[in-house]
Amino acid sequence: MGTRLRTLIYTFIFASWVILASGTHYYQKSLLTKEDLLPMEEVHLETKKSKRQIEFTTENDEASAVLPADTPENSVLSPGEGDASDLPTCLLCVCLTGSVYCEEVDPDMTSVPALPKETAYLYARYNKIKKITQKDFGDIVTLKRIDLTGNLISEIEDGAFSKLTLLEELTLAENQLVRLPMLPAKLTSFNANHNLLKTKGVKANAFKKMTKLRNLYLAHNQLEAVPVIPESVSILHLQNNNISTVTVDTFCKSNDTYYIRPNMNEIRMDGNPVVLAQYPNSFTCLQALPIGRYQ
């Protein structure tokens, strides 16, 4: 490709970006946390048809304070330098310092987009991503939060998240997962509500070593058993599954009647066949009874 042609292409792309950026406006709005949402700031991005007007709502001052004009080299490509593979992502999506917002991208986004280096926050909600491969996040070890709510994900390769040692919040809600992949040990919040998870696909010890996990959302799945819940967990959502029994060791310790479970504030087991009143010894270590059927 001739230099002139390349310059022309870059000029075109740069001009498109300027148009996009100049038609972008931001405003800030607080949002109430909804039932099943993670207790983190919720960022909503609506991309209008023209793609010129983007409404951006956030509680996060840090994100909204930075306009595209201030974005660093990783999100805006200057003509004649940088890696062109970054470009489509930051034209289809909105890239702010360290954050990539790709919500309801048109044309359909069917796989994880190439992420700029140093991406820490990825919001790729309500797209048509079907599969997560080992390569998708392989090099982006800076990721702290990934939100893939509302895609069509039915398969995640086992090593897909294995290099993400900084990852703290992972949301895979509203997908089509039957089984979970290996999860990073440092997660503080994991959300797989509204999937098709089966007991066979969620190993009993899947969460056992996640000693920082505070919020675990597995509601609206097809689980028939409760996995081992680490002591750090304070909110556990298991409503609308197919759990028909619990034991003393589900939440407490059968060999230690004086044990009091720390941290646990909320367990939801409503919408399961289990009748909790039949297992009075299973909750003695808890400071509050699970929400669910008692008769």
Q: How crowded is the C-beta side of 167, counted as CA atoms within 13 Å?
A: 26
Min CB(260)–ligand NAG separation in Å: 13
Query: Rounded distance, CA 52 to CA 188, Å?
Result: 36
Question: Residue 81, interface with ligand NAG (CB under 6 A)?
Answer: no
Question: Residue 256, interface with ligand NAG (CB under 6 A)?
Answer: yes
Nearer to ligand NAG, 85 or 254 (CB): 254
Label the pairing between strands 44-47 and 54-57: antiparallel
Q: What is the DSSP letter of 57?
A: E
Query: Rounded distance, CA 283 to CA 276, Å?
Result: 9
Q: CA nearest 144: which of 99, 102, 182? A: 99
Radius of gyration of the chain (CA): 22
**Which of 28, 110, 244, 287: binder of ligand NAG (CB under 6 A)?**
244
* Span from 21-29, 54-62, 98-106, 249-257 in contact with ligand NAG (CB under 6 A): 249-257
Phi, psi of 32, rounded to the nearest 5 degrees: -80, 145
Query: Rounded distance, CA 94 to CA 101, Å?
Result: 5
Query: Rounded distance, CA 268 to CA 237, Å?
Result: 5
Question: Residue 295, interface with ligand NAG (CB under 6 A)?
Answer: no
Nearer to ligand NAG, 162 or 242 (CB): 242
* Span from 95-103, 128-136, 144-152, 252-260 in contact with ligand NAG (CB under 6 A): 252-260
Query: Rounded distance, CA 221 to CA 104, Å?
Result: 24
Min CB(128)–ligand NAG separation in Å: 27
Question: Residue 255, interface with ligand NAG (CB under 6 A)?
Answer: yes
Nearer to ligand NAG, 232 or 242 (CB): 242
Min CB(241)–ligand NAG separation in Å: 9
Sheet holding 215-217, edge to edge: 94-96, 99-101, 121-123, 145-147, 169-171, 189-191, 215-217, 235-237, 266-268
Question: Residue 261, interface with ligand NAG (CB under 6 A)?
Answer: no
Min CB(114)–ligand NAG separation in Å: 38
Min CB(257)–ligand NAG separation in Å: 9
Question: Residue 16, interface with ligand NAG (CB under 6 A)?
Answer: no
The binding track of 40-59 with respect to ligand NAG, each residue x by CB under 6 A or -, is: --------------------
One-letter identity of residue 216: L
Question: Residue 142, interface with ligand NAG (CB under 6 A)?
Answer: no
Query: Rounded distance, CA 113 to CA 100, Å?
Result: 10
The binding track of 202-241 with respect to ligand NAG, each residue x by CB under 6 A or -, is: --------------------x-x-----------------
Beta bridge partners of 267: 236
Interface contacts to ligand NAG, rule CB under 6 A: 222, 224, 242, 244, 253, 255-256
